Amino acid sequence: MHTLKSLTFGVIVAAACWISYQAGQTPPKEQPQAATPASGPRKPLIGIASGPSPDNYVRAIREAGAVPVLLPNTDGSAAAIDEYLVKLDALLLCGGPDIPPSEWNEEPHATTKVLDNDRYLFEKALATAWVKKTKKPLLGICLGSQWINVVHGGSLIQDIPSEFNVNHRDTTHPVTLETDSKLAGIFGETQFEVNSLHHQAVRKVGEGLRIVAKSPEGIVEATETTDPSRFLIGVQWHPEKLLPSDLRQGKLIKAFIAAAK
């Protein structure tokens, strides 16, 4: 009996050892591979502030090879603004209603329709900080162009029809560019037709800016910085609305994105 028990115990131990050995020989399950990061340089992040209809801007920025980032207009706090200054590679100020004329010490004209307060406070804080605290690219379109002038200390014509007896809203007209301007260098030409959706424009040009395009009536259609090392341009027309049919306007968006890289 003792011999049988010893034999049985030995069989059990041997079996356990064999199972352990086999388990040790079993190859581990293949682990899932980590995703390989996309090759190539990082695409620049372009902040878009902060109109209600951003689709055309988003498409134009994406097709020019960058990543559009829509910025909410409900947080003008210094902390939020400073984070944008660090993380974004460039800023696009887009079109919209009017800047309150109290910014240049005037009463509103009868035709002036000011921005809602959230957007006004946010865009004023963001544009001012971007101009004063960074050297990063800035493109202003329509209202955005006017913001660039105002934060540089300039003023605006509140209503073009009242002063020039001409309409610049929902129409087209030619513009003439200064031959030595950055804008003329981007387009490679100094005269072409643009769309026009504005009733305000630059009156007194802000400090550190120069006028680089006008309409036939002498209305300011574009400004840019006098700093040759920086991309900072404002145009009164809407290049994003002319794309993709007018490939000329794509040159401006691409130059903006190239400056952000």
pLDDT tens readout for residues 153-169: 999 999 999 999 999 99
Catalytic residues: 142, 238, 240
> What local confidence, expressed as pLDDT, does residue 154 receive?
98
Domain residue ranges of the chain, discontinuous segments joined by +: 45-260
Examine the pLDDT at 195 and tell me if it is beyond 90: yes
Pull the structure tokens for residue 158.
Answer: 């509140």
Residue 26 has pLDDT above 60, yes or no: no
| pLDDT, position 19 | 37
pLDDT at 242 over 70: yes
- Distance, in Å, from the CA atom of 169 to the CA atom of 215, rounded to the nearest integer, reads 13
Which pLDDT belongs to residue 40?
72
Task: Look at residue 236 in the predicted model and tell me its pLDDT.
Answer: 98
Determine the pLDDT at residue 106.
97
How many beta carbons lie within 10 A of that of residue 217, not counting itself? 12
- CATH class of the region 45-260: alpha beta
Is residue 220 over pLDDT 50? yes
Query: Tens digit of pLDDT for each residue in 84-96?
Result: 999 999 999 999 9
pLDDT at position 75 is 66
The bridge status of strand 201-202 relative to strand 156-157 is: antiparallel
Ranking 66-75, 131-140, 171-180, 245-254 by mean pLDDT, the lowest is 66-75
What average pLDDT does the structure give for the chain?
Answer: 87
Which pLDDT does position 50 carry in this prediction? 77
**Whether the predicted pLDDT of 76 surpasses 90:** no
At residue 77, the pLDDT reads 72
Give the pair of three-digit tokens for residue 174.
């030619």
Q: Tell me the mean pLDDT in the region 196-204.
A: 96
Q: What is the pTM of this model?
A: 0.84
| Phi, psi dihedral angles at 36 (to 5 degrees) | -80, 125
Mean pLDDT computed over 120-144: 96
Q: Nearest CA to 234 among 248, 226, 243, 224?
A: 224
Is the confidence at residue 184, as pLDDT, over 50? Answer: yes
